[in-house]
Amino acid sequence: MCEYCGCQAIDAIAELTREHDEVVALISRVPAAHAAGDVTAMAAVARRIAAVLGPHTAVEEEGLFPPLAAGFSEHVAELTAQHRRIEGVLGEARDGDPADPQWPARLLDALHLLREHILAEQDGAFPAALATLDPTDWEAIEAVRARVGPGPQPSAL
């Protein structure tokens, strides 16, 4: 992932990036499960991704995005809308294997969107935050993280 602008030197961005890396690693498990027709494995990965994205999304939407919205409102609105679309598909596996035979295809589409979304954040939102946020903004982001906690560590998945 991105390492060219120095934004990962900021603890809040480093943690968000770590979570992105974990999600990408989880996404890599889905194609084999899909090829095998293993909806149970796909659903398990969807739940693991959702567990990582829960606190991650809260930090972005409650901490990072509000100060970015002043200068990048359309971009922030699109990222937030993507969060909802991805959460919707992942949420279908919350209580077990989705019964809808179209869910595996929707999951693949959502995970493709999620990968693009991660790149947009790391190549756009995170460097923009580094360039535009002030110390008060970073403190607000850290306060959200303190409230929601970190996502599960890779060993917990």
For 138-154, give the DSSP string. HHHHHHHHHHH-PPPPG
Domain membership of residue 86 (yes or no) is yes
The pLDDT tens digits of the residues spanning 108-140 come to: 999 999 999 999 999 999 999 999 999 999 999
What is the number of structural domains in the chain? 1
Q: Is residue 157 part of a domain?
A: no
Q: What is the pTM of this model?
A: 0.92
Q: What is the DSSP string of 114-132?
A: HHHHHHHIIIIIHHHHHHH
Exposure letters 40-73 (e unless 16+ CB within 10 A, then b): ebbbbbbbbbbbbbebbbebbebbbbebbeeebe
Q: What is the mean pLDDT of residues 55-75?
A: 97
**Quick check: is 135 in a domain?**
yes
Q: Determine, yes or no, domain membership for 152.
A: no
Residue 32 has pLDDT above 60, yes or no: yes
Answer yes or no: is 153 within a domain.
Answer: no
Instruction: Answer yes or no: is 21 within a domain.
Output: yes
